[in-house]
Each structure stands twice: as structure tokens, then as C-alpha cells.
Amino acid sequence: MRGNSRRSPRASASSRSIFDVASKKKRVAELEKATAAASFWQDGTRAKEIIAELNVLKGWLEPLAALRVSCSDLTALIELAEEEGGDGGEAAREAAAELGRLRESIVGLEFRKMLSGPDDERSAILAIHPGAGGTDSQDWAQMLFRMYLGWAERRGFETRVLDVQPGEEAGIKSATVLVSGPYAYGYLKAEIGVHRLVRLSPFDAAHRRHTSFASIAAYPEVDENVEIEIKDGDVRLDFFRASGPGGQHVNKSSTAVRVTHLATGIVVTCQNERSQFRNRENALKVLRSRLYALREEEQRKVNEAKAGEKKEISWGSQIRSYVLHPYRMVKDNRTAVETSDVTGVLDGDLDEFIEAYLKATG
């Protein structure tokens, strides 16, 4: 059974101060005016960005409007129940049901507030790397790769594999995936850290129990509106033949691209596209996101130093254990949420773990 990680919502003094309704309505009006312009679709990229922002804002405002209607309906039902008298009347039963729905809506809005960070609404770039342990860890990294693709499909996110480096015997040496959709980064930031697997190794002739590790990193995808300047002299570009399956054209042409940022040492590889230009474009996109995340992390450290705060950085910490032997259990080390449905989790059923973490840290 999974542990109960839910907390009761705390009442706030003003929903307006928390959700900033007035400014969101003003921004919606501005965006809707922009979409009505005759030239709106002349810049397709910008048009999609406006529509995405509009959908995010409406995702806040529409539940709030529904909540107000529900509150009004509940008030009317309570007044009607008082007129009827007694506790078992039809109006009293309807009021109780409406109160239950109202509570669920409030919990949902509270959770949405957990995704109110400056980058939470962005799409995400997910990176997977095996730890020490050879083939077992590379196989574990591939299992995580499939798990997150399954999770993204369940959530309705679009995924595009930017790079996969296959292992020599099995598994993968690394994988980079673009997960597109509102709040993809807000969710996936809960998965950053080291994931531990315990199982009977299928690669051990003696079939002994092995412990494997793999790390997950997530970066917010940044658009052209974010100022991250990358000059030609800041990077080194290397071109090489793509490895692994991909067809005759991929294996015989130097379409794969490796971008090295000289100042930071960040290295990004992309090889899944058949076009060298597209791989270069994707690699620079990932590099921009990683440089942005690095800049934000450095600023966070400066702010904490000014405030005299000392917080544990969780990027390299072990966050979750997946045990397949001698028993079956997945347990989150941060929230104590656990389940024996290991198969479901590895198929992408991660929402309870993610939500529990976001609520605990929100």
C-alpha cells in the first residue's frame, strides 16, 4: 500500500493575493487581442508561444471562476436546507455533496499553487545517465528512460528524443528527451536526483543480487525571450557518425553533433535526427537550457548566502529506491511514499510520488 502523503489545505487570507487574478485577467485580455489580429499567424513560432501562455493563464482562471460558482451554489443549498429543517432533507444531502466537490477543487488549486515557480510552466529537457556498475546500471538507465516516456504519455505531454547513446552490451550510456507541455518542468523537477535499483542481475552468470544507480536531471526549456547569449567563440562543435541503430544514412554520415561550452565545460550531444543542422539546433537548445539552469542555481546560492541560509542541494542525492528482490517495493526517501506496485511505477505511474514531493516542498 502507498503511504498517505496528503496534507490538509491551509486557508489563505486572500485568493487574490495568492493567484493574482487581476493581473492574469489583464494579461488574458492582451493575449486574446493579439490572437484577433490579422497578422497573428505570420510568425508561427510566436503565435504558438502566445497560445501556450493563454492556455496556462486560463488553466488558473477557469478553475477559480468555477470555485466561485460552487461557493455560491453551496451557500444557496445551505440556506435551503435551513428552511427545510432537519439534517436529512434533499437540500442537506445536495449541500454535503457540493461541499465534497468544493474541497476537491480547493485541494486541486492548492496543488496548482505548488507549480507557481518562475519556470514551472515551461517544457522540460530530461537527461538520464547511468552510475557506476557497467551493464547493470546502463540497463537501469534504459528502464528509467522507458518509465519517463510512459509517464509523459499518461500526462498527455509530447516527447522528442534528442539523443540516446546505446550501451555496448545492453541499456544506454545516456539519453536526452524534450518533454513538451504546460508545467512539464514543474513536475519533472521532483525527479531530479539519483534513483537506486535492487534486483537479481540478468547479466550476472551467478544470478546474484546487484544494486544499480542512475541519475536524473531536468532543465526548463528556454525560448528566445530568455537572454542566454552563446557566441561562436564560446563553443566547440564536433561532428561524428551516429552510433547504434538508425539506418544506413545515419551510420555512414557525420550527422551527430557534440557541442562543448568552453567556459563551463558543459558537453551536449545530439544524434537522433538525420540532419546535421537539426542535431546542431537541438544541441544548442539543450545547451541554452543548461546554461539558464546553471545561472539560476548560482543566483539561488547568492541569495541564500545573503540571507545566511544553508540548504542541502539535492541534485546528487538518492531520492528513490526500486526494489525487485527479495521483495517488491518502490519507496521515495524524501516523502516516505511507497508502493508494492513496482510494475505500475516502471510503466510510468509516478504521479503520487511527484505530487507528494511538490506538496511537501511547496
> For 90-126, what is each residue's pLDDT tens digit?
888 888 888 888 888 887 777 777 887 889 989 999 9
Q: Let me know if residue 86 belongs to a domain.
A: yes
What letter does residue 252 receive in the DSSP assignment? H
Domain of 208, CATH number, reads 3.30.70.1660
Place 8 in a pLDDT band, splitting at 50, 70 and 90: very low
Q: Let me know if residue 9 belongs to a domain.
A: no
Domain of 73, CATH number, reads 1.20.58.410
Residues 122-152 have pLDDT tens digits of: 999 999 999 977 899 999 999 999 999 999 9
Q: 128 and 217 share a domain?
A: yes
Q: 82 and 25 share a domain?
A: yes
Q: Let me know if residue 162 belongs to a domain.
A: yes
Q: Let me know if residue 6 belongs to a domain.
A: no
Q: 197 and 297 share a domain?
A: no
Phi, psi of 166 (to 5 degrees): -70, 150
CB-CB contact of 133 with 212 (8 Å): yes
Rg (CA), the chain: 24
* Strands, sheet with 193-200, edge to edge from the N-terminal-most edge strand: 158-166, 172-180, 124-130, 209-220, 193-200, 318-323, 329-332, 338-339
Q: 210 and 315 share a domain?
A: yes
Q: 90 and 199 share a domain?
A: no
Q: 152 and 192 share a domain?
A: yes
- The CA–CA distances, whole Å, from 119 to 22, 99, 151, 222, 259 equal 21, 33, 20, 9, 24
pLDDT value of position 306: 63
Total of domains in the chain: 3
- Which amino acid is it at 75? T
CB-CB contact of 283 with 268 (8 Å): yes
Q: Which domain holds residue 347?
A: 124-222+311-361
d(CA 242, CA 155): 31
Domain of 296, CATH number, reads 3.30.160.20
Q: 128 and 56 share a domain?
A: no
Q: 134 and 278 share a domain?
A: no
Q: 255 and 279 share a domain?
A: yes
Share of the chain above pLDDT 90, in %: 50
Quick one: which of 305, 326, 330, 291 has its CA closest to 147? 330
Q: 209 and 238 share a domain?
A: no
